[in-house]
Amino acid sequence: MSTTVLNGEKDLMETTVPTVNTHIGLETETIVIFSVLAVVAFCVDIWAHRSDKPIALKQAIGWTLFWICIAMGFAVFLNFHFNGEVASLFLAGYLFEQALSVDNLFVMMAIFAWFKVPDVYCHRVLYWGVLGAIVFRLIFVLIGTSLFALGPIVEFIFALLVAGSGLMMLRKKDDEADANADFSSHFAYKAVRFFIPVFPRLCGHSFFISQTQVQAELQKPENAGLVLKRHGPWFATPLFLCLAIIETTDVMFAFDSVPAVIAVSREPLIVYSAMIFAVLGLRSMYFVLDAMRQYLIHLEKAVTVLLFFIAFKLAAGASLHLFGFGIDISVYTSLAVIAIILGLGIAASLVFPDKRPSKAASEDARLQK
């Protein structure tokens, strides 16, 4: 008799305990709010940076905070429109995408340095790079979330991919590999040169110049003696070669980052909005990281730890579903772990700075000898 009562009480508790629903699907109102926020903020950014001017650190920090506020505004909307767990899923994905973007931005710095692109043109290249990232992220998110729906086996595969990305970052030789990289052997570089003639000098912020413009450029004293091996009605400039390599690099980066962010949330709209708000703020963050790179030396190590955490989260969840043992890490735990690891990476960079002389300092010392 008592057993029956206990079972009845248990059933009553199970029916009265509310479950938090994080499935939002492709709700029209959320899509509209997300689209309006992203488009309006993007247009404001474009208008403010419509001319070729160098972006100072103070200005870059201001615009980075602007994009963070836009993302937080969308998180507040998700919290009131759905629930706190949906907002936490978005914040976890947003923070993780921001963290993963650090390594991608460092590679972009190396590409700009190799092509000797002036700071006044970097924002223009990054603008077109962001537009490409928006399209490719949409494709990868749709494919990735569809694959995750196939079952735990796919989670194991994605866990291996994310762990592989972490191992690649562990094997990276700090700044030396990027500084000594030769992008003339890059696939995108060779592809552009195969399909269209290339003028070897920068021509303002132009990605392409006509035959008439080429003739005018050849008359300039600094281009005296320049011989073109190929001719055509249009020529690509080194700025377009730079953009092509950055776009290709971002595709490979998205191939690694999308599975990691999907591991936080399987909802396509949450994943895509988190990634897009992070990507839209990359242009401003680029100039912040470029100025503070020597002070954030342990941040990449924190990103590597995050990748292994996400790989563990995927594998542990898949094991629980397949074999009955494992762990299902909640969204709040994921959000806390991501924030703590990133905070530790920044704190470690401040407490244990790089004691080696910077490249600029080394160059000054060499010139003084």
Per-residue pLDDT of the chain in tens (369 residues, 90 and over written 9): 444 444 444 444 444 434 456 666 678 888 899 999 888 888 888 887 777 777 778 888 888 898 899 999 999 999 988 888 888 888 888 888 888 777 778 788 888 888 888 888 888 888 888 888 888 888 888 888 787 777 778 778 878 877 887 787 777 655 444 555 678 888 888 898 888 888 888 888 889 988 888 888 888 887 777 778 888 888 999 999 999 998 888 887 877 777 777 777 778 888 888 888 888 888 888 888 877 776 777 777 888 888 888 888 888 887 877 777 777 777 778 778 888 888 888 888 877 776 654 444 443 443 334
Q: What is the pLDDT of residue 357?
A: 47
Per-residue pLDDT tens digits for 244-285: 998 888 887 877 777 777 777 778 888 888 888 888 888 888
Q: Where are the domains of the chain?
A: 26-180+246-354
Number of residues assigned to the chain? 369
The CA distance from 136 to 276, in Å, is: 11
Per-residue pLDDT tens digits for 122-131: 888 888 888 8
Q: What is the pLDDT of residue 77?
A: 92
The CA distance from 331 to 264, in Å, is: 7
The CA distance from 66 to 48, in Å, is: 12
> Is there a contact between 329 and 309 (Cβ–Cβ < 8 Å)?
no
Q: What is the pLDDT of residue 316?
A: 83
Mean pLDDT, the chain, rounded, equals 78
Q: What is the pLDDT of residue 368?
A: 38
Q: What is the pLDDT of residue 8?
A: 45
Q: What is the pLDDT of residue 241?
A: 92
Q: What is the pLDDT of residue 180?
A: 56
